[in-house]
Structure 1
Amino acid sequence: MKAVRSQRGNTIIEFVFSMGLLLAVSVGVFQFGYAFYVYNLLENAVRAGARYASLRTYDSATATPSDSYLAGVRNVVVYGDPAGGQRPVAPGLTPAAVAVSVRMQDGTPREVRVAIDSYRLDAGVAAFTLKGKPYATFPYVGRFAPPT
Structure 2
Amino acid sequence: MRLSRQRGLAAVEATIVLPLILLMMMAIGEFGRLLYEYNTLTKAVRAGARTASVSSNPGNYDVSLVQDKTKNMILYGQEIEGTKTVLPGLKAEDINVSPILIDGETYVQIHVSYDWQPMFGDTFNTFFGNTISLTFPLETSMTMRALL
TM-score (norm 1): 0.79
Matched, 1:94 2:102: no
CA distance in 1, matches of 2:74, 2:61: 23
Tell me how far apart the structure 2 counterparts of residues 105 and 7 of structure 1 sit (CA, whole Å): 75
Contact kept? 2:116, 2:136, Cα under 8 Å: yes
Task: Show the counterpart of 1:31.
Answer: 30
Within a 5 Å distance, the mapping from 1:52-131 to structure 2 comes to: 52-57=51-56, 65-66=63-64, 68-104=65-101, 110-117=106-113, 119-124=114-119, 126-130=134-138
Q: Deviations over 1:56-87 (max 9, x none)?
A: 3259x898x32x53211111110111211011
2:118 maps to amino acid: A
Q: TM-score, length-normalised on structure 2? A: 0.79
Q: What is the alpha-carbon root mean square deviation over aligned residues?
A: 2.3
Identity of aligned residues (%): 29
For 1:141 and 1:20, locate their aligned partners in 2 and report how far apart those are by CA, in whole Å: 56
**Equivalent residues, number:** 134
- Residue 9 to residue 89, structure 1, CA distance change in 2 (3 Å): same
Cα shift at 1:109: 6.0
Structure 1 spans left out of the alignment, 5+ residues: 143-148
Whole-angstrom CA distance in 1 between matches of 2:142 and 2:55: 16
Cα distance change of structure 1 residues 25 and 39 upon mapping to structure 2, 3 Å threshold: same
**Structure 2 unpaired stretches of 5+:** 121-133
Q: Secondary structure at the match of 2:140?
A: strand
For residues 30 and 49 of structure 1, what CA distance do their matches in structure 2 show?
28
Question: 1:22 deviation in Å?
Answer: 1.1
Q: Is the 8 A contact 2:53 2:107 kept in 1?
A: yes
